[in-house]
Amino acid sequence: MLNVSKVQANIPASDLQRARAFYADKLGLTPVQEFAGEILMYETTGGTPFAIYRTEYAGKAEHTIAQWHVDDIKSQVDELKSRGVAFEVYDMPGTSWDGEIAHLPGLGWAAWFKDSEGNTMCVDQPETAG
């Protein structure tokens, strides 16, 4: 049954207005709907919905909670850096790095950053793209 359902990411934010500003100014995203000042709904032109919701538990996860699949990771990283996004570099055995972009053999390339709430996000490009 779930295989015919859509899946939505839910991203926690301790300060919803700060998150709104980050997602607008740094990522170029605008909410398509807002619910009672507690939830911001977004949808990419690729058709993927996600929500940012207010909670005191934002930024507590130490793993990637959302990622964007892109066709050209280098230009995407460059664009985000020009908007003030700082990327993370991790010690990952078997991974080679070109600046902030990791090459994951057999998978592709990835670059991680934290949003305004301390959540880890990723942009990635599959090995077969580009």
Instruction: Tell me the residue range of the domain where 109 lies.
Output: 2-55+63-126
What is the value of pTM for the model shown? 0.91
DSSP3 helix / strand / coil % (the chain, rounded to 5): 20, 35, 45
Least confident range from 34-43, 83-92, 100-109, 121-130: namely: 121-130
Q: What is the CATH number of the domain that holds 91?
A: 3.10.180.10
Q: Which residue has the higher pLDDT, 37 or 81?
A: 81
Interacting residues of 40 by C-beta distance below 8 A, sequence separation 6+: 16, 19, 20, 23, 31, 33, 34, 51, 52, 53
pLDDT at 128: 80
Over the stretch 53-103, which tens digit does the pLDDT of each residue have?
A: 999 999 999 899 999 999 999 999 999 999 999 999 999 999 999 999 999
pLDDT at site 2 = 83
Give the count of domains, the chain.
1
Q: Are strands 120-126 and 64-69 parallel, antiparallel or unpaired?
A: parallel
